[in-house]
Amino acid sequence: MPVTKFSVEDRYSYHHGFGSYFESEAIKGALPIGANQPQRPPFGLYAEKFSGTAFTAPRSNNLQTWLYRVLPAASHQPFEPYVSLSKTSVYQKTYHIPNQLRWDPFDLDNEVDWTDSLHLVAVAGEPALKQGVGIMIFAAGKSMRDNEAFSSADGDFLIVLQHGVLDIQTEIGRILVRPNEICVIPRGVRYRVTLRYGSVRGYILELYQGHFQLPELGPIGSQGLANVRDFQIPVAAYDYDVKTEWHHITKFNGEFFIATQNHTPFDVVGWHGNYYPYKYDLGRFNTIGSVSYDHPDPSILNVLVAPSDQDGTPIAELVVFPPRWLVMEDTFRPPQFHRNAMSEFMGLIQGNYHGKAGGFQPSGASLHNVMSGHGPDYDTHRKASDEELHPVKVGEDSMAFMFETCHIMGITEWGLNGCNKVQKDYTKNSWESLYPLFKPPV
């Protein structure tokens, strides 16, 4: 069955369908009929339009949701700088280096919550101009405070959870995220992260520019890869609290700000639209591959893509390497040696990645920047060159992924030195031991 066997059962209900237009009510009759902003919305609620794109964006990619809530999001005191949180600033010193990089597993941290756990590792672009991407590592051991919410005005968070369980309460509804699931929280959505099952760790790609889409399937046809129906969107759920002091932390141009308000931000009783958070089980990915010869490009394993204005060259994309059969004849089956016009940041959720014999571990990472040569290490190349070929399933109980972007990534001080996880002998252990096999004809 194409679904992950999770150890924790999901406690919430969902709508299904990527990019679909939904309407959802926690109380029947909360949504007005026909009109979006009647003079007096049902039950005395406020109507609030939540736009993820410009008003005049084409219908094909226009994203907006109407919220019907107890109090509007504008009802808060002024934001003040929250200087104790600055590990995501895009203006910190970064290093643009062509070397291949690999990190040992990042440490768990039981002393911090979600907002304090975010560390920027690599960045390209600038959220103020809505250009580029940022890559973060998170590791937290505490729930956010009961009266605290977080959001990012900078971009969409694509969360790849490696360890633990995220119980996320959003304005739109509740989502439970487990390892082997991804979650996207769009720009501006307010949410709170609870850790009911202990510490968490994982990776985040923040998309400063545009929004994620499903990749075009071309000659594959009308189905395959990540299917539309398998994406899950929360249903409306609300709290009624107009007496407690709440704090809203927002990430704005890479810096943190905090505002106080006297009501919960999770008071949306009903909503309708197509701008919302969602999650997806990577175990449902429908893998496509070669059944004759040669290794296809990894673009055949795309889950989500954020297109640029240059056809076929994404700002960012999520690629996965799930369990799959390799049956190609007379073919070197691991990923080929290559240099790329894209930067590739890889992570490992669980298991072993068949393209590397060792050193690449769950919760670790690697970065091969634009035009940095890379490929299988010495041991993997030797084995794949000499083994007898027969149909084989690779990646059993494993899931690797890749954040790919067209930008050259700068590495932050924390990513290069502060985390103390960069493998100093990565290139030596991977490729310096390769030796010539060339035998010129006599």
Catalytic residue set:
295, 338, 344, 368, 374
* Strand ranges (E), 253-342: 255-261, 268-273, 278-281, 302-306, 316-321, 324-326
With left for phi above 0 and alpha for psi between -120 and 50, is residue 188 left, alpha or beta?
left
DSSP assignment string, 369-430: -TT--B---HHHHHHHHHSPP--EEE-TT-EEEEEEESSPPEEEHIIIIIT--B-TTHHHHH
Spatial distance between the Cα atoms of 378 and 419, rounded to a whole number of angstroms: 27
User: What are the residues whose beta carbons fall under 8 Å from the beta carbon of 1, sequence distance 6 or more?
Assistant: none
Q: Please list the helix, strand and coil fractions of the chain in percent, rounded to the nearest 5, in that order.
A: 10, 35, 55
Burial class, 353, CB count within 10 angstroms (exposed 0-12 / middle 13-18 / buried 19+): buried
Going by the DSSP 8-state scheme, the letter that residue 138 receives in this structure is E
Tokens of 105: 């597993």
